[in-house]
Each structure stands twice: as C-alpha cells, then as structure tokens.
Amino acid sequence: MADKTNLYTKSRLLYNRALKVLPTGVYGHLGPSNGCAIPVDAFPIFSNKAKGPYFWDVDDNKFIDYMCAYGPNILGYGDEDVDKAAIAQIRKGNCVTMPDEVLVDFAELLTDTVKKDWAFFCKNGGDVTGLAVMTARYATGRKKLVLVKGGYHGVAPWTQKVGYAGVLEEEVSNNLYVHWNDVQEFENLIKQYPGQIAAFISTPYYHPTFEDNKLPAENYWKSIRDICTKNGIVLIMDDIRCGFRLDIEGSDAHYGIKADLITFCKAIANGYSVSALCGVDSLKGAVSDVFYTGSYWLSAEPFAAGIACISKMKKENTVAKLRFIADKLHKGLKEVAQKNGREIVISGEPVMWFMRHTNDENFFMHQAWVAECVKRGIFFTNHHNQFINAALTDEDIAKTLDVADRAYKVIADKF
C-alpha cells in the first residue's frame, strides 16, 4: 500500500468538494482538522465500507482500524447479529408516534446488566451528560459542578471553556475543577463552597489527549464515593467512552463503587445511535421532572441493536476477549519497538490504550511512525487513545506488528 503514490487521491478530491458545502470539510472528531491525523497527508479522509475490524477508504485502501469509530465498534463493524436485529426492527417500525415495546425490553436488559434502577435514552453522549447534570442540579437544588481538569464530557457549552467560540462566561461559571486522583482538592472545594456542589462528574479513569492516561489510585473511587455520599453530592460517572469495554456491569463496578448516575453511548449498540443515562432509584423522581426530549430519541432500531449487542457481549464475554487481544498486541508492540532500539510507552486501560515513545518529547518521531503505519494499512492516530474491538484476529495482530516493524525501519534515518 505505501509504495503506491497518491494513496488518497479520491479522498482528497472528495474533501475539496466537501470544503465548499461543509464547515471545515469534515467537522468534528472525524475530520482532518481535529489534530489526531498528523501529518494529515498520511491519513485518508473518507471511508467507503467497513466490516469486522477493517474499513476501506474511498481509494480502496484497507485498514485494520484501531480507532473503532472512536469507540462504537466493539464487536466488529457490521456485526451480523446486531445488524440483523436492527434491520428486522426497521422493517417492523422505527420512528413512530408511539414507542415500540422494544424500548421497555432494552431498558430492562440495560438496567439489569449495569445494576441500576432506570434508564433514559437519547442519541449522543453529550445528550446524557447534559441530562445527568440537570438531574443532579434539580435533585440537590445546587448549582456547582466539580469536574476533572482535562476531562471530556461532550461539546455543550457547560463542558467548554471561556474563550472558546460561542461559549459564555455564565455557562461555565459554576464549574469547579480538580486534578485527576486528587481527593484533597475535592474536599477543599467542598469546604470553600459549602452546600453548593450538586455533582462530581468524571470518566472512570483519566484519558486526555497528548499525555499518558492515568488509572485511579488505590481507593480513589471509594474516597470520592464516600465524600459524595457524606455531602449529598451526586456522583456522575461518564462511561461514554469506556462503557462495556472494562466491565459489562459498567465501569463503576469495574472500579468497585456504585455511581448515582452513569452515562453510556458508543459501544452500547455497536454503532447504532443510542445513548443512555442510568441511575439509582432516589434520582428517578428528579430525572422525571427534567424537560428533555428529542425527535429520534425513542426510535426503535437502535434499541433492537442495543439488545443484540449487549446480549452478545454477555454471551461471548467480550470484555475478557478485548483484554486478551489488547495484551497480546501491546506485548508485541513493545517487543517490536525494543528490537528497533525504541521504547513505546503504553498507558491507560489496555483495551483503550494511549501510546507514545520515550525520548520523543515533541511527539515528532511518534507521529512519523504512526504515519508510516497508517500508510501501510494500520489505522492508529496520534494523541488520542486507541480502541480494541472483538473482531481482531491473530493475523490482524501479526500484520500490525509486521507493519509496526517496517514503519520503524522507514523512519530510522530521520529520527
């Protein structure tokens, strides 16, 4: 693949058309301006089809995809069981004046799986982080939120910062920030703002871009749980990215606590558009009072897909499978790096790992290596965590390691 010149001719032509009618050509996290595709000319821009762990771009280059659509692909693209359930539901009825009974079936399965008392479905992750915050504020009668610096909870104004385009100071003036793993800072804020903090919201572990990802320190989540309980603060776990990759019961269970509210999206339906806020019984009254709805939130097709996806993940113990694949891949990547006189640093949870290289402070060597991998059909990105999906085979891992090796050799003269 890399020996072909103009690998991405059609992608570029399409992008020129896109630039005329779409802001930035491809906006958002899938676009080339998001900072994960560096250097941009090493990456395709448009896909044409996808199956299992692969996608093909519009120039018909095939990639083993370690970004998994930024999380939704957990069983493999176009999983037969999930697609079959979704297609059957579309034929039966999807967006209708009344919800289909599959809504109730999905809520029962999900709440039973993640050990919560109720579920509220929307479409995107940001829909449910927003609902979680509104619910916590209404339930407590308090305004302030404690967030972890560098955390990501979507794009609604309250998740952004003053100075970002279109964000008003008033929209973020009730946000308070702590550093990851710093329990003392949280306690200090409670003293500084007595009776004013509605919620603590955080991802299960720290997975920002551009830096090593960090797991919770021993007892971190237990301490946060205890402090929240003692002070009447709602504990919101944002499990949109990690959900179903660490523990089928949710990442709060994975780290040994029970969140009051937990958000899911991405892997919940293997790519069909549904997100969920799940919660404890004591917050069911509050969430019921929040005015919150959307044109497609009760469409039935993603619920059918979600049922098929969760059922399959349980049946096949996908969590264990993902971990097995991740460990194998990482062991191989470390060995290949070492063989080439490099050291690769892998951080975060293995199924959603972040990688960089030592002695490469500005990431230039890492970017060059990723670029050579991408040009040879291994789709990694820079500065963001990667994802494992359950369709990856031993051959895919072997191919990845072979390409990783070749990529080191290509960049050897430059770095």
Ligand X SMILES: Cc1ncc(COP(=O)(O)O)c(C=O)c1O
Closest CB to ligand X among 212 and 402?
212
Q: Which stretch binds ligand X (CB under 6 A): 50-58, 233-241, 252-260, 406-414?
A: 233-241
- Among 72, 154, 216, 250, the residue binding ligand X under the rule CB under 6 A is 154
**According to the binding rule CB under 6 A, does residue 241 interact with ligand X?**
yes
| Look-up of token digits 């790992």 | 353
Q: How far is the CB of 91 from ligand X (least distance, A)?
A: 27
Cβ–Cβ under 8 Å, residues 270 and 74:
yes
Q: Which residues, including other chains, have CB under 8 Å from residue 112's CB and lie 6 or more apart?
A: none
Neighbours of 305 (CB within 10 A): 29
**According to the binding rule CB under 6 A, does residue 372 interact with ligand X?**
no
Neighbours of 37 (CB within 10 A): 23
N-to-C CA span, the chain: 23
Please state, in angstroms and rounded to a whole number, the distance separating the CA atoms of residues 355 and 383: 8
Query: Tokens in use for 166?
Result: 């279109």
Q: How far is the CB of 279 from ligand X (least distance, A)?
A: 16
**According to the binding rule CB under 6 A, does residue 340 interact with ligand X?**
no
Cβ–Cβ under 8 Å, residues 247 and 318:
no
- Among 124, 175, 196, 231, the residue binding ligand X under the rule CB under 6 A is 124
**Residue 390, exposed/middle/buried by CB under 10 A (0-12, 13-18, 19+)?**
buried
**According to the binding rule CB under 6 A, does residue 152 interact with ligand X?**
yes
Please state, in angstroms and rounded to a whole number, the distance separating the CA atoms of residues 49 and 44: 13
Closest CB to ligand X among 69 and 75?
69
Cβ–Cβ under 8 Å, residues 264 and 252:
no
Q: How far is the CB of 154 from ligand X (least distance, A)?
A: 4
Query: Tokens in use for 240?
Result: 């949109």
Per-residue x/- track, 129-148, ligand X (CB under 6 A)? x-------------------
**According to the binding rule CB under 6 A, does residue 153 interact with ligand X?**
yes
Per-residue x/- track, 167-196, ligand X (CB under 6 A)? ------------------------------
**According to the binding rule CB under 6 A, does residue 203 interact with ligand X?**
yes
**According to the binding rule CB under 6 A, does residue 114 interact with ligand X?**
no
- Among 32, 44, 76, 126, the residue binding ligand X under the rule CB under 6 A is 126
- Among 57, 238, 260, 396, the residue binding ligand X under the rule CB under 6 A is 238
Residue 264's DSSP bridge partners are 276
| Look-up of token digits 């005329």 | 20
Please state, in angstroms and rounded to a whole number, the distance separating the CA atoms of residues 382 and 19: 23
**According to the binding rule CB under 6 A, does residue 65 interact with ligand X?**
no
Q: How far is the CB of 70 from ligand X (least distance, A)?
A: 6
Q: How far is the CB of 367 from ligand X (least distance, A)?
A: 22
Query: How many amino acids of this chain bind ligand X (CB under 6 A)?
Result: 12
Residue nearest ligand X (C-beta atom) = 125
Report the alpha-carbon angle 33-160-278, nearest 5.
Answer: 105
Q: Which stretch binds ligand X (CB under 6 A): 95-103, 150-158, 332-340, 357-365?
A: 150-158
**According to the binding rule CB under 6 A, does residue 73 interact with ligand X?**
no
Closest CB to ligand X among 61 and 213?
213
Amino acid letter, residue 171 = E
Please state, in angstroms and rounded to a whole number, the distance separating the CA atoms of residues 217 and 359: 26
Q: How far is the CB of 240 from ligand X (least distance, A)?
A: 4
Please state, in angstroms and rounded to a whole number, the distance separating the CA atoms of residues 202 and 338: 35
**According to the binding rule CB under 6 A, does residue 350 interact with ligand X?**
no
Residue list 255-294, contact with ligand X (CB under 6 A): 265
Please state, in angstroms and rounded to a whole number, the distance separating the CA atoms of residues 75 and 66: 13
Binding site for ligand X (CB under 6 A): 124-126, 129, 152-154, 203, 238, 240-241, 265
